[in-house]
C-alpha cells in the first residue's frame, strides 16, 4: 500500500535533552511539502558532530531533536514542485545545501549557500516534519538521519548511482568528504609537500588520504590515542606522533622533525588548543593551516606575529565541496576505487544501538560505525 501523502510512523533515536542518551521512539513523519522530499533512510554513519551537539555543549540547535547527518537512502515520495527526484532514487541528504541560484552558489569561491538550513536557526520548529508524543521534534541540520524516514529540502539532497552500496557511501555525506576535501580543496596540498594531520578519526584519516592523493611526500599523523598509528599508516601517513610521548609542546616536536615546520596542517580533533598547535607547527614563512574540527562556543587564539610572517589560517566546511554536484562524483570515485570508504567502517550496528556507537567513537575504539535501519 502506498504511503504517498500519508503520515508515516517509524522508529527514530530522539535526543530529548542535552547530555542524556537518546531513546528509540515511534515518531510521525509528515508528507513532504513543496520542494521537499521524504526518504527511507537505509544507513547512516555516526559523526563526532552529532556527539558534540548532544554532549559537548555545542551551540543550541534546539531539543528535542533527531541527530544524524551522514546518511543515505531511497526516495519514498516528493512534494509539489520537485522535479529532480522520483520515488526509488538512491540519494544522500546534505547538511550544506546547494540551491544553484544564490550569490554564494554562483561563486566558485565558496561551497556555502544562502538557503542552508543553519542560516535560519529561528524557525527550526516550523521547518520540522517530525512529531513524537504530541511534540515537534527538531530536525538537526535539516537531515535527521537517525530515523527510519526523514524529510529534506530538495536543495539539500543529491541523487547518486543506482548501483552505489548505501551502507558504505553514506559516509560520503559528511566525514570522508570533509577531511578529503579539506586537504585537496581548502589547504590545496601540493605535490612534494610536508603535511601534518591532528586527530585521526574518520575526518582526520580522510585528510591523510587527501594529502596522499595530492602528492604530499611526508604526512605526519598526530593523535593522543596510540592505537591510531597503524590505521593512519594504512591511509598514507609516513609518520605517527603521539603528543603524550613528549614533554615539550607538539609544535616544537614537529618543527624539529621537519627542520622548520610543515607546509600544510589540518586540525581534525575539534579542540581549540590543538588548532593553535596545528597552526604553529607550520612553516612560519608560508605554512597553511586548516581548521576542520567543529567548535562553536570557544575562541581560538595565537600571537599575531605567528601570522604576520606569512602563515595562513583557514577553515573548511564540508571539505569545500559544492554538495549537490560533488557528492555523486565522490560516490563514483569510490566505486572506481579512487578513494577509500570501506576501510573507515569498523563497526555496523542497528539504529537501536546508537548510544553504543557514540561510546565506541569517544573511547577511540571505532573509526566509523554505520547504523543500518
Residues 146, 294, 334, 344: which binds ligand NAD (CB under 6 A)? 294
Residue among 54 and 174 whose Cβ is closer to Zn ion: 174
Count interface residues toward ligand NAD (CB under 6 A): 33
Residues 29, 41, 99, 216: which binds Zn ion (CB under 5 A)? 99
Nearest to 267 by CA among 363, 195, 346: 195
Q: How far, in Å, CA of 226 to CA of 235, rounded? A: 16
Residues 190, 225, 229, 346: which binds ligand NAD (CB under 6 A)? 225
Least separation in angstroms between CB 296 and ligand NAD: 10
Residue among 18 and 243 whose Cβ is closer to ligand NAD: 243
Strand-by-strand arrangement of the 135-139 sheet: 8-14, 23-29, 130-132, 135-139, 65-66
Partner whose footprint covers residue 243, from Zn ion, ligand NAD, none (CB < 5 to 8 Å by kind): ligand NAD
261 torsion bin: left (phi>0), alpha (psi -120 to 50), beta (else)? left
Partner whose footprint covers residue 105, from Zn ion, ligand NAD, none (CB < 5 to 8 Å by kind): Zn ion
Site for ligand NAD contains 268 (CB under 6 A): yes
Residue among 236 and 319 whose Cβ is closer to Zn ion: 319
Residues 166, 169, 171, 202: which binds ligand NAD (CB under 6 A)? 202
Burial of residue 28 (CB within 10 Å: 0-12, 13-18, 19+) is: middle
Site for Zn ion contains 47 (CB under 5 A): yes
> Which residues fall within 8 angstroms of residue 236, CB to CB, at 6 or more apart?
208, 209, 211, 212, 219
Site for Zn ion contains 241 (CB under 5 A): no
Residue among 13 and 174 whose Cβ is closer to Zn ion: 174
Q: How far, in Å, CA of 267 to CA of 62, rounded? A: 27
Q: How far, in Å, CA of 364 to CA of 313, rounded? A: 28
Q: How far, in Å, CA of 274 to CA of 41, rounded? A: 35
Residue among 258 and 316 whose Cβ is closer to Zn ion: 316
Residues 142-181 that bind ligand NAD (CB under 6 A): 174-175, 178
Residues 38, 39, 46, 49: which binds Zn ion (CB under 5 A)? 49
Residues 31, 64, 204, 320: which binds ligand NAD (CB under 6 A)? 204
Amino acid at each position: 500500500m502506498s504511503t504517498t501523502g500519508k503520515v508515516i510512523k517509524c522508529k527514530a533515536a530522539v535526543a530529548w535533552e542535552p547530555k542524556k542518551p537518546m531513546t528509540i521512539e515511534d515518531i510521525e513523519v509528515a508528507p513532504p511539502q513543496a520542494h521537499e522530499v521524504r526518504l527511507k533512510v537505509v544507513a547512516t554513519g555516526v559523526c563526532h558532530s552529532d556527539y558534540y551537539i548532544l554532549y559537548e555543549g555545542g551551540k543550541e540547535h534546539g531539543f528535542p531533536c533527531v541527530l544524524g547527518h551522514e546518511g543515505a537512502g531511497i526516495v519514498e515520495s516528493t512534494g509539489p514542485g520537485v522535479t529532480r527526484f522520483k520515488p526509488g532514487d538512491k540519494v544522500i541528504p546534505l547538511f550544506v545545501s546547494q540551491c544553484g541560484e544564490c550569490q554564494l552558489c554562483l561563486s566558485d569561491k565558496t561551497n556555502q549557500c544562502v538557503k542552508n538550513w543553519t542560516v535560519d536557526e529561528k524557525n527550526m520548529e516550523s521547518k520540522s516534519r517530525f512529531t513524537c508524543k504530541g511534540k515537534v521534534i527538531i530536525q538537526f541540520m535539516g537531515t535527521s538521519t537517525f530515523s527510519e524516514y526523514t524529510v529534506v529540502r530538495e536543495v539539500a539532497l543529491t541523487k547518486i548511482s543506482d548501483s552505489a552500496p548505501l551502507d558504505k557511501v553514506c559516509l560520503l555525506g559528511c566525514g570522508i568528504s570533509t577531511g578529503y576535501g579539506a586537504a585537496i580543496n581548502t589547504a590545496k596540498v601540493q605535490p612534494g609537500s610536508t603535511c601534518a594531520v591532528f586527530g585521526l578519526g574518520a575526518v582526520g584519516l580522510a585528510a591523510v588520504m587527501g594529502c596522499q592523493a595530492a602528492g604530499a611526500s611526508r604526512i605526519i599523523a598526530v593523535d593522543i590515542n596510540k592505537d591510531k598509528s597503524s590505521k593512519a599508516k594504512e591511509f598514507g601517513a609516513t609518520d605517527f606522533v603521539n603528543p603524550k610521548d613528549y614533554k615539550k609542546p607538539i609544535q616544537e616536536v614537529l618543527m624539529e622533525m621537519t627542520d622548520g615546520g610543515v607546509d600544510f596542517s589540518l586540525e581534525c580533533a575539534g579542540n581549540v588548543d590543538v588548532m593553535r598547535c596545528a597552526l604553529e607547527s607550520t612553516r612560519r614563512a608560508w605554512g597553511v593551516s586548516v581548521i576542520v574540527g567543529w567548535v562553536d562556543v570557544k575562541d581560538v587564539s595565537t600571537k599575531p606575529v605567528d601570522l604576520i610572517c606569512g602563515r595562513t589560517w583557514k577553515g573548511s566546511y564540508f571539505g569545500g565541496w559544492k554538495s549537490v554536484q560533488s557528492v555523486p562524483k565522490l560516490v563514483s570515485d569510490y566505486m572506481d576505487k579512487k578513494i577509500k570508504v570501506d576501510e573507515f567502517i569498523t563497526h555496523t550496528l542497528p539504529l537501536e544501538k546508537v548510544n553504543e556507537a557514540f561510546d565506541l567513537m569517544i573511547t577511540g575504539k571505532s573509526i566509523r560505525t554505520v547504523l543500518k535501519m
